[in-house]
């Protein structure tokens, strides 16, 4: 579906029917859906196909990280499946990212957006040091995001805290996809540094990954519309 919905709902279910029951309660005109490693590993491409057939844009969040040839083939498989967005780890390197982007060229306007993961929000400075990286997470995110842009990618996943600096340095067309979003008053769960949907958009986010505040709502469509209304 071609629309400007900014909310990407994270479908984190270990049961396919529960996910499909939820999906029937929200409109593909008002959101897109993110399918990650858990659901893909349990339910596979057939599950993704069902969501697409229901009219949803799907972000296939498998964070590919492998040699360039393998990643190019993996993103090709994602394009064949018909997903709207797919991602790779920027730390796979510029050659890997370039090859992945080139593999999608033949799909023209139907190619999925190709997004890079920079530094996972679960990594702190000490953990980066253990990996031999002597930068702060923030510096390393900026470094990898620039590398992703220079390699031709369409954007990055980052925290909303990093969005404003990345928007300034990498320009308005480079898409920023941000998790860790909580509507005012919502339960934070295990997210530590959160922003409201409106704050994240104002900071420069293009797409907001939101899971539990919508999936666990009594009325998911109403919650989604409330969020969308704050973004106008
Ligand atoms: O890659 C992600 O989507 C992701 C990256 C990250 O750094 N932090 C993060 O929370 N996520 C995902 O974003 C979603 C957030 O879900 P909620 O915390 O329920 O809104 C989950 O699917 C997380 O796995």
Segment 97-155, tens digit of pLDDT: 999 999 999 999 999 999 999 998 788 899 999 999 999 999 999 999 999 999 999 99
Decide if pLDDT at 2 tops 80: no
Pairing mode, if any, of strands 85-89 and 113-117? Answer: parallel
The structure tokens 């540094």 sit at: 193
Specify if 74 maps to a domain. Answer: yes
Segment 171-200, tens digit of pLDDT: 999 999 999 999 988 988 888 778 999 999
The finding on whether 210 has its CB within 6 A of some atom of ligand 1 is yes
Specify if 105 maps to a domain. Answer: yes
Could you say which DSSP state residue 182 is in? -
Helices (H) and strands (E) in the chain, counts: 10, 8
- From the CA of 77, how far away is ligand 1's center (Å)? 23
The residue contributing the CA closest to ligand 1 atom 12 is 179
Specify if 1 maps to a domain. Answer: no
Q: Which of 27, 50, 76, 24 is nearest to 35 (CA)?
A: 50
- Cα dihedral value 83, 85, 89, 90, nearest 10: 140
Task: Classify the phi-psi angles of 210: left when phi > 0, otherwise alpha if psi is within -120 to 50, otherwise beta.
Answer: beta
CATH number, domain with residue 26: 3.20.20.70
Task: Classify the phi-psi angles of 125: left when phi > 0, otherwise alpha if psi is within -120 to 50, otherwise beta.
Answer: alpha
Specify if 149 maps to a domain. Answer: yes
The ipTM assigned to this model is: 0.96
Specify if 83 maps to a domain. Answer: yes
CA 21 → CA 15, 24, 82, 119, 168, distances in Å? Answer: 10, 5, 22, 33, 40
Specify if 118 maps to a domain. Answer: yes
Q: What does the longest C-alpha to C-alpha distance in the chain come to?
A: 47
Atom of ligand 1 nearest to the CA of 121: 7
Specify if 2 maps to a domain. Answer: no
Specify if 95 maps to a domain. Answer: yes
The number of domains in the chain is 1
| Cα(164)–Cα(167) distance, integer angstroms | 5
Q: Which of 11, 66, 69, 17 is nearest to 40 (CA)?
A: 11
pLDDT given at position 102: 98
Range of the domain at 177: 7-230
Catalytic residue among 50, 63, 73, 167: 63
Catalytic residue among 50, 66, 135, 167: 66
């Amino acid at each position: 579906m071609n629309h400007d919905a900014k909310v990407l709902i994270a479908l984190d279910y270990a049961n396919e029917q529960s996910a499909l029951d939820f999906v029937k309660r929200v409109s593909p005109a008002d959101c897109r859906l993110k399918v990650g490693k858990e659901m893909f590993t349990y339910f596979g491409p057939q599950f993704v196909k069902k969501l697409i057939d229901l009219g949803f844009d799907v972000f296939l969040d498998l964070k590919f990280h492998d040699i360039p040839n393998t990643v190019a083939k993996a993103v090709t498989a994602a394009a064949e499946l018909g997903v709207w967005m797919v991602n790779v780890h920027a730390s796979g390197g510029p050659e890997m990212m370039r090859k992945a982007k080139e593999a999608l060229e033949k799909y023209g306007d139907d190619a999925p957006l190709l997004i890079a993961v920079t530094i996972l929000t679960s990594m702190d400075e000490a953990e980066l040091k253990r990996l031999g990286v002597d930068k702060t997470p923030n510096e390393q995110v900026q470094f990898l995001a620039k590398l992703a842009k220079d390699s031709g990618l369409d954007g990055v996943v980052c925290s909303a805290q990093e969005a404003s600096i990345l928007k300034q340095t990498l320009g308005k067309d480079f898409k920023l996809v941000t998790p860790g979003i909580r509507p005012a008053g919502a339960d934070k769960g295990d997210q530590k540094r959160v922003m409201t949907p409106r704050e994240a958009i104002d900071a420069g986010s293009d797409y907001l990954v939101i899971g539990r505040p919508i999936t666990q709502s009594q009325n998911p469509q109403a919650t989604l519309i409330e969020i969308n209304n704050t973004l106008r």
